[in-house]
């Protein structure tokens, strides 16, 4: 009798315990599910559930019919006239002399492609430092046909590095390895700090779109959207972010966007952050015929002007051309179209600016 009673009590205890555990599991699952749903609701549009990223809402998308062929690209590339236009690049010694003469001024120097050296007050910054001979892993990838305006080891002390995305012609690991100013502050999109940390940079910050950093009392950097993508390997497509930089210095606004395609996001950015005093934007790497018409992720010269217009920009500088062959338009075509059609987008011809590689402009002239 006593044994039977003990067994029944034991059964009741375990039944009760099971119900309690089940209830706990249910509540944990329920609250976890609610938490996940809330997180999904609060996740920005450009953040995907798998941890990847996508372009701003309404951005163009690559057509499913787009077919890339290395064989066709290399065949067509051989047909390009590689004659460089007169005055396209300044001699290194002249660049170094002009740089030395300008140390007391705020200036911008085009080193090539998307690499610019800028001095703003007490801060010297560089964008997307690309000094290698090819844009690819090891010795692979397109080779540059114009050398950097100055060698990497001749750079003045750099205080700030801005990186837009992870493609090889922007995130250049050999250049980072040999970079002479490892103590500089580095601002990168989400997911890219490890490339700098592994190469002994000490002060690296990752930014999401719309986040900003106050560098000093006069200089503020805001990371903003671009219409592009990211990839370095076969398995990491869009796993790291990309974007543009708004550089604000003493009441002036400089917008740096490279790489990007055209999209409605720029009208929104113009409304929120404009007017812009000076926009830097890619004007090359757009034509891929006969494979497909043009890249939705690289603006044509006309689309670059549209972006600058949408940003309410007073002036615009064309870049990402004349350094390395990434597409099939004639290598000297982008600046011609850029200047020719400036008036169609409410710019004076002189306000659609084409710099030579090694060209140095004073911000006192550009931003007046």
Nearest alpha-carbon partner for 89 in 360, 358, 361:
358
Pairing of strands 252-257, 244-249: antiparallel
DSSP three-state, residue 335 = helix
Asked whether 323 and 128 are in contact (CB, 8 A), the reply is no
**What pLDDT score does 12 carry?**
46
Q: Mean pLDDT over residues 257-262, rounded?
A: 96
Residue 143 has pLDDT above 50, yes or no: yes
Q: Mean pLDDT over residues 234-263, rounded?
A: 97
- What is the phi-psi region of residue 188: left when phi exceeds 0, alpha when psi lies from -120 to 50, beta otherwise? beta
Determine how many CB atoms are found less than 10 A away from the CB of residue 52: 16
DSSP three-state, residue 64 = coil
Asked whether 350 and 315 are in contact (CB, 8 A), the reply is no
H-type helices in 229-278, by residue range? 265-273
Give me the residue spans of the domains in the chain.
Answer: 1-42, 80-366
**What pLDDT score does 20 carry?**
54
Number of H helices, E strands in the chain: 9, 14
> Cα-flanking dihedrals φ and ψ of residue 151, to 5°?
-65, 155
Distance CA 13, CA 7 (A): 10
| Cα within 13 Å of Cα(151), Cβ side | 4
Distance CA 203, CA 197 (A): 8
Q: What is the CA radius of gyration of the chain?
A: 26
Residue 347 has pLDDT above 60, yes or no: yes
Asked whether 286 and 241 are in contact (CB, 8 A), the reply is no
Q: Mean pLDDT over residues 284-307, rounded?
A: 95
Distance CA 185, CA 188 (A): 10
Asked whether 276 and 311 are in contact (CB, 8 A), the reply is yes
pLDDT tens figures, 35-82: 444 445 689 999 999 999 999 999 999 887 788 898 999 999 999 999
| Cα within 13 Å of Cα(354), Cβ side | 22
- What is the phi-psi region of residue 346: left when phi exceeds 0, alpha when psi lies from -120 to 50, beta otherwise? left
CATH classification code of 80-366:
3.60.15.10
């Amino acid at each position: 009798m006593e044994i039977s009673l003990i067994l029944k009590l034991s059964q009741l205890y375990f039944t009760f315990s099971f119900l309690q555990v089940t209830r706990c599991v249910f509540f944990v699952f329920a609250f976890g599910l609610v938490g996940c749903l809330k997180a999904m609701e609060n996740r920005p549009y450009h953040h995907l559930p798998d941890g990847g990223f996508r372009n701003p809402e309404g951005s163009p998308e690559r057509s499913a019919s787009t077919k890339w062929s290395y064989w066709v690209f290399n065949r067509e590339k051989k047909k390009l006239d590689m004659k460089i236009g007169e005055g396209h690049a300044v001699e290194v010694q002249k660049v170094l002399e002009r740089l030395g003469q300008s140390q007391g001024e705020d200036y911008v120097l085009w080193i090539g492609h998307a690499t610019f050296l800028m001095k703003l007050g007490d801060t010297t910054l560089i964008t997307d430092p690309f000094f290698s001979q090819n844009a690819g892993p090891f010795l692979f990838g397109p080779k540059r046909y114009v050398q950097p305006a100055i060698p990497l080891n001749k750079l003045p002390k750099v205080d700030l590095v801005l990186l837009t995305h992870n493609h090889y012609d922007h995130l250049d690991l050999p250049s980072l390895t040999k970079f002479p100013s490892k103590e500089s502050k580095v601002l990168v999109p989400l997911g890219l700090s490890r490339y700098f940390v592994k190469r002994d940079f000490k002060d690296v910050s990752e930014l999401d779109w719309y986040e900003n950093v106050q560098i000093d009392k006069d200089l503020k950097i805001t990371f903003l959207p671009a219409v592009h993508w990211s990839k370095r390997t076969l398995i990491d497509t869009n796993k790291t972010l990309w974007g543009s930089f708004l550089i604000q210095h003493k009441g002036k606004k400089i917008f740096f966007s490279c790489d990007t395609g055209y999209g409605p996001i720029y009208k929104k950015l113009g409304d929120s952050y404009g007017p812009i005093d000076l926009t830097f934007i890619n004007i090359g790497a757009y034509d891929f015929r006969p494979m497909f018409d043009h890249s939705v992720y690289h603006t044509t010269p006309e689309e670059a002007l549209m972006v600058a217009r949408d940003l309410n920009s007073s002036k615009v500088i064309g870049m990402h051309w004349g350094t390395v062959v990434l597409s099939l338009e004639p290598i000297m075509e982008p600046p011609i179209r850029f200047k020719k059609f400036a008036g169609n987008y409410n710019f004076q011809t002189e306000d659609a600016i084409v710099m030579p590689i090694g060209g140095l402009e004073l911000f006192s002239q550009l931003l007046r």
